[in-house]
Amino acid sequence: MSSNFNTANSAGNGGLLARASRGIEDSIADLGSLSLEWVAGFGSIAIFFWRMLGWLFTRRPRMETLLPSFYQVGVLSLPVVALTGTFIGMVLAVQSYAQFRGLGLETRMGAVINMALFRELGPVLAATMLAGRVGSAMAAELGTMRVTEQIDALASMGSNPLHYLVVPRFLACLLLIPALTIMAVFMGVVGGFFYSTYFLDIDTFHYLDNSRKFVGAYDLFIGVFKSLFFGMTIAVLSCYRGFHCRPGAEGVGQAATAAFVHSFVAIIVLDLFLGILLDEIHQMIWPNAVSLL
Amino acid sequence: MTERSRLKRLAVAVSTQPPMENTAPNPLIDVRGLHVRFGKQQVLRDVSLQIPQGQTLVLIGESGCGKTVLLKSIIGLIYPTQGDIVFDGNSMSQLKDRELTQQRIRFGFVFQNAALFDSMTVAQNVAFPLKQHRQHSDAEIHEIVMGRLREVGLPDNVVRKKPAELSGGMRKRVGLARALALSPEVMLYDEPTTGLDPIMTDVINELIIRTRERYPVTSVVVTHDMRTVRRVADRVVMLYPLNRLTKTEPQVLYDNQAEHLEKHDDERVRQFVRGEAGARLQEMQRETYVE
């Protein structure tokens, strides 16, 4: 009886071990397959981008394809970017007031709000709005064209879909996102100033003087420079998602969602690395730059 | 003698002869050992066809047997996994983007659901290839567009309409007018009569015949519709789904004139032509049960 029990017990342990090792193997295999998918996905996006660049530099896009994209990306995005920029400036004033008041540095709020807007919030906000408003729409539009064979029809008539559909959208995002960023920054600065001076009763002269002292052309350059990368990323990822849309209404919906989510993640990751790079450059050029405190 | 009547006489002359050789001395389109695979799913396996200039070849077969894939491979919209398509001496898979674009202008493609650009009007759709590839004035383009639309029997008042405002038959005819805009050498039709009523089906069949009589085009028509096969085909090729074949069986079950279809030795060809399911439903239920 005892011997039987031991045998059963050891067999049970063996089975458990085998199951555990199979589980680990499966997990490693899943991880490997996921990594392969990621690498293949990056490769596919890189090839898509490279081929699009080939068309961009070798054949000028037609005005009739450029203007609607510019209108969609620039003109129609402007109001929402301006509105959100204004409120972000005011929110920054609300949130930082208590902290700065405790230190008796309320007048320095202008420097903090404006620097945050110039360097980070302006470009990220404009890019997020663009990804949400334009990126998803581009993915859905191109996805629908893919599903209904309109992209195949375009190719069958001797037009390259990358040249006809992607290049104008890419140029519109690349060239107009700096303008949207500047608008977001400007409205944020106005919103922050208005709230600080009108509602929080901060001295106008010192608020502006501190802003002028600590925020300069390089900060604006940082915002605009970052925005160019954000614009490119949004256009490429959104168009890629649309071009590789799965069939059916569900596929189009997934493409639109993926375009926004992937663009947003890429914006945040790029923001970090570009921020580090541009700060290093700033340190190299102006090692003794003034600090806020 | 028109090309159409010449081919009809040829067809009558050979109808009593043994099956057609599927090789031609100088084929315009030469499909060589084509394999197409999407991920793990193989759709075409070692398909070879030679299509001479001026012939109207009709591709038939069950849904999912790879007819549309073959049609899209011919124009380079799908790249083969193995094998090649040679069009007028050019290997389609070897061409660069720009060269492929130049070759595609020589084709007209009528899509299953017309694939009209929904952001454009009917006139803009038909004018699209002309604006992209010809240096015509706006007036000349308008004239060509109106001419093409009249050829397919569409009234002048449709030019300003959007595709969403048209019926299925009208959309197909606009798709045909657009495909004809550049006077192509080859017309590819992907299920041109699917989803249409019998009258409109006959109208489309008539348009395919008229197009061939008016222009010296080579045509490949993908269809399930046996009326279309009987009316327009000079030659019929039947493909069979790979999942219903053994590994050694050829995917092309039939390659001959339409007249021989119903008397063919292969039961699967006769079943398709007559539209008889046989024991297919039971097989499907058994497969579902096993799965």
Question: d(Cα A184, Cα B80) in Å, to the nearest integer?
Answer: 49
The whole-angstrom distance between A144's CA and the closest CA on chain B is 10
pLDDT tens readout for residues A140-174 = 999 999 999 999 999 999 899 999 999 999 999 99
Closest partner residue to B115 among A54, A152, A158, by Cβ? A152
Asked if residue B8 has pLDDT above 50, the reply is: no
This prediction's pTM: 0.84
What does the pLDDT average to over A22-42?
Answer: 91
Q: A238 vs B289, which has greater pLDDT?
A: A238
The pLDDT, as a whole number, for residue B18 is 43
What does the pLDDT average to over A40-69?
Answer: 92
The pLDDT, as a whole number, for residue B217 is 92
Question: Chain A residues with CB-CB distance to B under 8 A?
Answer: 51, 54, 148-150, 152-160
What does the mean pLDDT of chain A come to?
90
- Which one of A63, A157, A165 makes the best mutation probe of the B interface by having the most chain B beta carbons within 10 Å? A157
**Tokens matching residue B139:** 């007036």
CB–CB of A152 and B182 under 8 A? no
The pLDDT, as a whole number, for residue B7 is 44
**B82-87, strands of its sheet edge to edge:** B41-51, B29-38, B82-87, B90-91
- Are the beta carbons of B59 and B220 closer than 8 angstroms? yes
State percent of chain A over pLDDT 70: 94
Q: Which residues contact B229 (CB under 8 A, 6 or more apart)?
A: B58, B60, B223, B236, B258, B261
Question: d(Cα A135, Cα B237) in Å, to the nearest integer?
Answer: 45
The whole-angstrom distance between A151's CA and the closest CA on chain B is 9
Question: Chain B residues with CB-CB distance to A under 8 A?
Answer: 72, 75, 77, 97, 101-102, 104-105, 107, 109, 111-113, 115-118, 128-129, 132-133, 178, 182, 188
Residue of A nearest to B112 (CA): A149
Closest partner residue to B132 among A51, A148, A159, by Cβ? A159
Question: d(Cα B72, Cα B66) in Å, to the nearest integer?
Answer: 10
The whole-angstrom distance between A197's CA and the closest CA on chain B is 49
The pLDDT, as a whole number, for residue B235 is 93
CB–CB of B75 and A156 under 8 A? yes
CB–CB of A153 and B117 under 8 A? yes
CB–CB of B104 and A156 under 8 A? yes
Asked if residue B50 has pLDDT above 70, the reply is: yes
- Are the beta carbons of A184 and A122 closer than 8 angstroms? yes
Question: d(Cα B43, Cα B71) in Å, to the nearest integer?
Answer: 13
Asked if residue A38 has pLDDT above 50, the reply is: yes
- Are the beta carbons of A249 and A125 closer than 8 angstroms? no
Size of interface A-B (CB pairs under 8 A): 54
The pLDDT, as a whole number, for residue A275 is 93
The pLDDT, as a whole number, for residue B11 is 42
